[in-house]
Structure 1
Amino acid sequence: MIRVLLADDEAMVRAGVCAILGSSGVTEVVAEAGDGREAVELARAHRPDVALLDIRMPRLDGLTAAEEIVRTVPGTAVAMLTTFSEGAYVTRALGGGATGFLLKSGDPYELIAGVRAVAAGAAFLSPKVARYVIDQGLGGGRLTREAQARARVAVLSPREREVLGLVGAGLSNPEIAARLHLVEGTVKAYVSAVLDRLGVRNRVQAAIVAYEAGLVES
């Protein structure tokens, strides 16, 4: 069972999200917070698998709370669940260590799939957000980004590039292991090596490189 901390200042929204996640049979909301500060405190107390945070909350906004949880509760994956998909929010969330960015306007299945993905160590972005990330890439014009990305992945071994492509496709470590007929520990080592050699902080940023380098069909 995936243990989830849900933080949103609207009780009706929390009730709806809890109902959706509860219907999945694989997720359980173990704590609810009405503001960002409470979310950080509950994350430290409950150590959930996933912290699902709204952006605009009192006392402490969701983006700051996400950064604090990533820093102080390393075993908890963070995903944003919000109505706001502005580029500045997406950039800060992913740059701060969040591995999921979901929109409240999305399909309920998307919410469940997103929580499962980030809990498994993969990245998950709502389609609208994913398009923004792909279009924006790592800065500069698209042709420049593609050239930069190809140069960056050139230092990787063939197996590392293969792993990077699967990370870019949103696969978790167990799924990559099954696809490549490797043990999960080996895949974890490959992913760590890829992140280090690319100089990126997390799987979302690695996925951007994979897209720009043409390792994943957008």
Structure 2
Amino acid sequence: MPSSEPSNAPASPITVSVVDDDPMICQAMSLILNDYSQGRISVVSTSHNGADAVARAREERPDVVLMDIAMPDGDGITATAGLRRLPAPPHVLILTSLSPKGTVERAAEAGAEGFVSKTDAPEEIISRIVSVCEGRPQYNPASQRQLLADLHAHRPMTRRDEARALLDALTERERQAVLLAAEGLTNQEIAARLFVSERTAKAHLSSASEKLSMSRVQLAQLVGRADLPSPLCR
């Protein structure tokens, strides 16, 4: 008998806890994740301070926690460290509209795996949650640049490390397209290697160029500095 379940809905949705001292933000995020994710995500709870968030996570064991930074009863960075010490630690994405100096580095050191902007489009927020569960850190270009600046203030990075960090700020498809372009492949050849249309391949390259504010030639130079092996595209 064929299953009656929708083919695009996972057997078990990703469970998410939203933490923000503003109840309106919690409500808005809950609506976005529950209503726009097509069953892929389920918000199991909301909290308004770090201590409550850690206590709830210990009981509920969510897959992902969206964590605000400035809250009463301990800031989000402290709460993130507490979450990561739990027996079944969730992924933590910092929920913010700004990346003040030092925040990105502190968040990463506490165990956060990326940032979600409160002003991101619903599909972008959902994509970051899904991606972090797949093991891909979610540092957008703005937070990536702030992280590099913070790290530079404490210790110098090699040009190779800088280049790799910037490439890691791209989506997987954007990164693959950039690596192939750096090998000298045309848009048509890139499309064939990635099994996408030429228009899609061009869009990936344009998006990468816009995110990093680099031309195609500069992207190729960036790949050269990163000193990566040739991409193995499936």
| TM-score interval, normalised by the smaller of the two chains | 0.5 to 0.7
Cα distance in structure 1, aligned partners of 2:159 and 2:98: 28
Aligned length: 165
Q: Structure 1, unaligned stretches of length 5 or more? A: 154-163, 172-178, 180-209
Q: Does 1:44 align with 2:91?
A: no
Deviation at 1:13, TM superposition (A): 0.6
Matched, 1:16 2:32: no
1:18 & 1:215 partners in 2: Cα distance? 40
Counterpart of 2:102 in structure 1 is 88
Q: Give the structure 1 partner of residue 159 of structure 2.
A: 146
Q: State the percentage of identical aligned residues.
A: 33
Q: Within 2, Cα distance between the matches of 1:94 and 1:104?
A: 19
Give 1:29's aligned amino acid: V
Matches of 1:95 and 1:78, distance apart in 2: 12
Show structure 2 runs of 5+ residues with no match: 1-12, 173-192, 194-222, 230-234
SS in 1 for 2:102: helix
**Closer/same/farther in 2, CA of residues 211 and 168 from structure 1, 3 Å limit:** farther
Structure 1 stretches of at least 4 aligned residues deviating more than 4 Å after TM superposition: 140-144, 164-171
Tell me the residue number matched to 2:83: 69
Give me the whole-angstrom Cα distance separating, in 2, the residues matched to 1:116 and 1:142: 32
Candidates 95, 110, 125, aligned match of 2:124: 110
- Give, as a single letter, the amino acid of the residue that structure 2 aligns with 1:139: H
CA contact (8 A) 1:5 1:31 kept: yes
- Pick 1 or 2: higher relative contact order, CA cutoff 8 A, min separation 6: 1
Q: How does the TM-score come out when normalised to structure 1?
A: 0.65
Taking structure 1 as reference, are residues 56 and 144 closer, same or farther at Cα in structure 2, changes over 3 Å only?
A: closer
Q: Which has the larger radius of gyration?
A: 2
